[in-house]
Amino acid sequence: MNQQVQNFPGLAGGDALAAQRNRVLRNTYWLLALSMVPTVLGAWVGVATGLAHLLSPGISMIVFMVGAYGLMFAVEKTKNSAAGVPVLLGFTFFMGLMLARMIDTVLGFKNGGSLIMTAFAGTGAIFFGMASLTSVIKRDLTAMGKFLFIGVILLIVASIANFFIQSSTLMITLSVIAIGIFSAFILHDLKRVQTGEETNYITATLGVYLSLYNVFVNLLALLGIFGGDRR
């Protein structure tokens, strides 16, 4: 507490804590915006070089799981050092590369570009909606995180199962559920920063980024299924 107060001369107690929370939230928003740049770059590189089709769907899923969890571990290990931001941006570049296969598939539709922009706009609307709700909702949302985490685990298991089952109905259902779960996660994670439960903006950015990424992917999948205009 004393150290926190020292970081904000002229402030004491609750004012110092409020200033710290605002700083973490502001840094989270800035880093989140910055993380979109390597994501878009990674997706562009993946599509432009044909990297999206070099790996089979099965191998691609393994590379994604190993690479994503490995880089997330690296982000957590470096979050309190100067390497934290570059490692996080490297992670978002990798996530962009892994997004290239879906982007390339959607671009195969006549209206592929508009579908991507619609998914992007929809994701942005969900983010701003959840960010606004953090100021409206006054109750503690900590307990919600446990239920959301369980939901994500079940979602992952069901998605892996559907990789082998290949059910279109199940895929649509899982996409709708995923959008709901990760939208709620955005609210939960931003609320934790606002209440001072999360004090590291790199960790906060990682959590919100993953939620936005999953909302975008699943929203784009639904738009491709229901609105894709084949050439």
pTM (predicted TM-score): 0.88
Domain interval for residue 144: 2-227
Question: How confident is residue 72, by pLDDT bands cut at 50, 70 and 90?
Answer: very high
Residues 73-79 have a mean pLDDT of: 95
Find all residues with CB under 8 Å of 174, minimum gap 6, and list them: 155, 158, 159, 162, 218
Residue with tokens 């001072």: 196
Question: pLDDT by residue (tens digit) across 190-207?
Answer: 999 988 888 999 999 999
State the helix-helix crossing angle for 14-48 and 84-107, rounded to 10 degrees.
Answer: 40
Pair 87, 74: CB distance under 8 Å: yes
pLDDT in tens, 98-120: 999 999 999 989 898 999 999 99
Cβ neighbors of 48 (< 8 A, separation 6 or more) are none
Domain tally, the chain: 1
* pLDDT at residue number 5: 44
